[in-house]
Amino acid sequence: MAPTLELLEEPAGNLPVKAVSAIRNGNSADDLKLESPEKHQRVMNVFRAFIADICQQYGEGHAGSPMGMAAIGIALWKYVMKYSPNNCNYFNRDRFVLSNGHACLWQYLFLHLVGVKSMTLEQLKSYHSTKLDSVCPGHPEIENEGIEVTTGPLGQGLANAVGLAMATKNLAATYNKPGHEVVNNMTWCMVGDACIQEGVGLEALSLAGHWRLNNLCVIFDNNSVTCDGTADVANTEDINTKMRATGYNVVDVYNGDSDVAAIVNALVAARSSDKPTFINIRTTIGFGSALAGTADVHGAALGVDEVANVKRSFGLNPDEHFHIPQDVYDFFSDIPGRGEAHEASWQAALVKYHEEDPVLAAEFELRVMGKLPEDWSKCIPRKEEQPTASTASRKSAGVITNALGQNINSFLVGTADLTPSVNVAYKNKVDFQSPELRTACGLNGNYSGRYIHYGIREHAMCAISNGLAAFNKGTFIPMTSTYFVFHLYAAAAVRMAALQGLQQIHIATHDSIGVGENGPTHQPVAVAALYRAMPNVLYIRPCDAEEVAGAYIAAIQATETPTIISLSRQGLTQYPQYSSREGTLKGAYVFVEDNDFDVTLIGVGSEMGFAMQTRELLFKEHGIKSRVVSFPCIRLFEQQSREYKHSVLKPRAGKPTVVIEAYPSYGWERYADASVSMNSFGKSLPSKEIYEHYGFSPESIAPKVKDLVEEVRRDGIEILRGDFRDFNGGLRIGLEH
């Protein structure tokens, strides 16, 4: 098969026409004009000594992998990658992900050598220092030039890289036209042993193989050492065979410590592969040191004497520290110019593209700017279009997801194999698939498809979504979908999205115990607390279709924040008189006011019905007057003014507040004095019966609220201070018997 990706124009610099042709045609790198092995050795010596120096200054940091990966870095930054040091964010650049993020010094030093201006010598030396917001933090961070994604938690970067490669495929299939390729970059992903042991990495590898992402190259730094010693201590599988079975072209490099040419050869071949490529490169951790090949150099400095020995063995002056001779800078001096040429040729291609198809070009340019078409709001039903009959919120959400998915190319809608349950499949959807699979297994899809079957891989779904979102912020808004309980599988990836400010929308259906018969394994008691406490996450539990509309508006407006929209399986009473998207955007609002109230009831998501029914019963049976507050999102509420908060909660009125939610009360103490909540995992019972079993019914709630109201009337509100009342009992230890 012909390579999908080609260089647009011959780059400037020292790559001759023959080399460009070699890359274009996927031939070997023999034609590339490589510098001499001696020159490479010289650069690697200086590189390795510098790494040793940096870690030595504070006696810590990760020296081993950066030293081991020196030759790989030369192959990538000097010869193979397409990028522009003067504009690291140039749209059509190759993406590079360091999934073994602890090796970040390696990347930092190459960024310095190739001329990325923010990566000064001083910055390099600030690694592990007390410098605030160093561009050389302990793991790579997306905020800094030349870093595509924040990595560190292992396996995440690999999954991100799959997302980055998908992004290219999808944009290319959507916008490229014959003779006009405006997106055709490669994604290079460096991994260590850990990334291919971690489940999230394995899930992502399977998907990339399935999708035949031939623009992805996974580069395995196979140094055979992990923190615990030899990698064999926990892994003895035949990785090459496994990767071939997973759909990869596998290439071996046996001397990854110094054979730059062999690495270049393998990398260049990856550009013309018909499958994703896995390059298995044998390296020596801590190469050059007496501790080379041992776990002792993984996460530690070498020691003063050993640093000196390393330099001596390399023929360098042991008394020179942090020294990069001019000839090493010169070695990389052509890169900025080549990068500018890459960028210029892309800009030129864009101009021609605009002439060819101004409409498509305008849309493409909007996406390059990371902007959503303004008419996204047309996908949100107007208040008067909302249903009035009982409707599951997963269905109300489906209406919006489907409209967004169908109409706006920025939305990639995925599911972890729950299409029949999560209501995200839209009419005439096209699956994201390799067109080759159409013949191989009769699948109907291609790379322009924006409906993504992730399989039963929730963690990779969310981690890949991070890559999609990070391709160029705003170009894609990935949507994922699964049952809310399974967002626990994906928690580490959602956290990485929050940490990086990556916008995405997670459709989390089957929330609360109302999911019913599937039982406690599927009832997400306690999952909400994680996301409510997590910085920069919006966790929104709408109570009806109108609040669902508000949730989507909040999610789309939060351009630097992942949002989880938490939805019911079961039908929910609609409250067109009371519910409001504007209120939802404020996080909480007065649902039903009563100036002469005895108690405030907080209703949340699918438990709003119990609040409203309890209000009715309390008045009918006991003459107790309740006001009701809807509280779909704690985080949004916390952004409001103190005055607004007080107007909603009336904390000074001397009246109690009771929250009703089928999760543990943990965290609601800020707003309420008592709760009807869950103190255990659930049970396998139909929705109605399980709610009743756990005391979620007006008949069960009303008497408890009545007692509380009477107690407060008698003794004053102060009695509740320090005595939060879990009406259903608090969380315990041990199983209930």
**How far apart are the C-alpha atoms of 463 and 152, rounded to whole Å?**
13
Q: Measured from the CB atom, is 60 or 594 closer to a second copy?
A: 60
Task: Map the footprint of a second copy across residues 547-606, applying CB under 8 A.
Answer: 558-561
Instruction: Say whether residue 151 binds a second copy (CB under 8 A).
Output: yes
Identify whether 458 is a catalytic site residue.
Answer: yes
Q: With 0-12 CB in 10 A as exposed, 13-18 as middle and 19+ as buried, what is 268?
A: buried
**How far apart are the C-alpha atoms of 189 and 217, rounded to whole Å?**
6
Q: Measured from the CB atom, is 174 or 197 closer to a second copy?
A: 197
Among residues 10, 145, 363, 431, the one that binds a second copy under rule CB under 8 A: 431
Q: Which one of 191-199, 339-347, 372-380, 381-389 is the stretch in contact with a second copy (CB under 8 A)?
A: 191-199
Among residues 185, 226, 480, 509, the one that binds a second copy under rule CB under 8 A: 226
Rounded to a whole number of angstroms, the minimum distance from the CB of residue 660 to a second copy is 17
Retrieve residue 673's tokens.
Answer: 């004095």
Any idea what DSSP says for residue 177?
Answer: B
Q: Write out 682-708 in H/E/C secondary structure.
A: CCCCCHHHHHHHCCCCHHHHHHHHHHH
In the annotated binding site for substrate, the residues are 62, 298, 394, 421, 510, 522, 569
Give the type of residue at 704.
K
Instruction: Say whether residue 197 binds a second copy (CB under 8 A).
Output: yes
Instruction: Say whether residue 418 binds a second copy (CB under 8 A).
Output: yes
Q: Measured from the CB atom, is 616 or 707 closer to a second copy?
A: 707
Catalytic hit among 141, 181, 198, 458: 458
Among residues 303, 455, 571, 703, the one that binds a second copy under rule CB under 8 A: 455
Instruction: Say whether residue 329 binds a second copy (CB under 8 A).
Output: no
Instruction: Say whether residue 132 binds a second copy (CB under 8 A).
Output: yes
Task: Map the footprint of a second copy across residues 289-328, applying CB under 8 A.
Answer: 295, 299
Among residues 329, 619, 644, 681, the one that binds a second copy under rule CB under 8 A: 681
- Site size for a second copy (CB under 8 A): 150
Instruction: Say whether residue 236 binds a second copy (CB under 8 A).
Output: yes
In the annotated binding site for Mg(2+), the residues are 193, 223, 225
Q: In this structure, are residues 209 and 246 in contact, taking their beta carbons and an 8 Å threshold? A: yes
Task: Map the footprint of a second copy across residues 49-108, applying CB under 8 A.
Answer: 60-61, 101-102
Rounded to a whole number of angstroms, the minimum distance from the CB of residue 26 to a second copy is 23
Among residues 526, 613, 619, 625, the one that binds a second copy under rule CB under 8 A: 526
Rounded to a whole number of angstroms, the minimum distance from the CB of residue 243 to a second copy is 9
3-class SS shares of the chain: helix, strand, coil, % to 5:
45, 15, 40
Q: Distances from the Cα of 205 to the Cαs of 158, 200, 297, 436, 635, in angstroms?
A: 8, 9, 28, 18, 35
- Within 10 angstroms of residue 320's Cβ, the number of other Cβ atoms is 12
Among residues 14, 57, 613, 680, the one that binds a second copy under rule CB under 8 A: 680
Instruction: Say whether residue 632 binds a second copy (CB under 8 A).
Output: no
> For residues 592-618, b (16+ Cβ closer than 10 Å) or e, as one string?
beeeebbbbbbbbbbbbbbbbbbbebb
> For residues 514-531, b (16+ Cβ closer than 10 Å) or e, as one string?
bbbeeeeebbbbebbbbb
Instruction: Say whether residue 430 binds a second copy (CB under 8 A).
Output: no
Query: Does residue 623 come out as left (phi exceeding 0), alpha (psi in the -120 to 50 range) or beta?
Result: left
Closest by CA position to 583, among listed 627, 611, 548, 531:
548
User: Phi, psi (5° rounding) for residue 11?
Assistant: -70, 155
Task: Map the footprint of a second copy across residues 237-256, applying CB under 8 A.
Answer: 237-242, 244-247
Instruction: Say whether residue 519 binds a second copy (CB under 8 A).
Output: yes
Instruction: Say whether residue 473 binds a second copy (CB under 8 A).
Output: no
Q: Measured from the CB atom, is 121 or 456 closer to a second copy?
A: 456
**How far apart are the C-alpha atoms of 518 and 404, rounded to whole Å?**
30
**How far apart are the C-alpha atoms of 108 and 113, rounded to whole Å?**
9
Instruction: Say whether residue 373 binds a second copy (CB under 8 A).
Output: no
Rounded to a whole number of angstroms, the minimum distance from the CB of residue 84 to a second copy is 24
Retrieve residue 640's tokens.
Answer: 């409001």
Centroid of chain to Cα 702: 43
User: What residues are labeled active site?
Assistant: 458
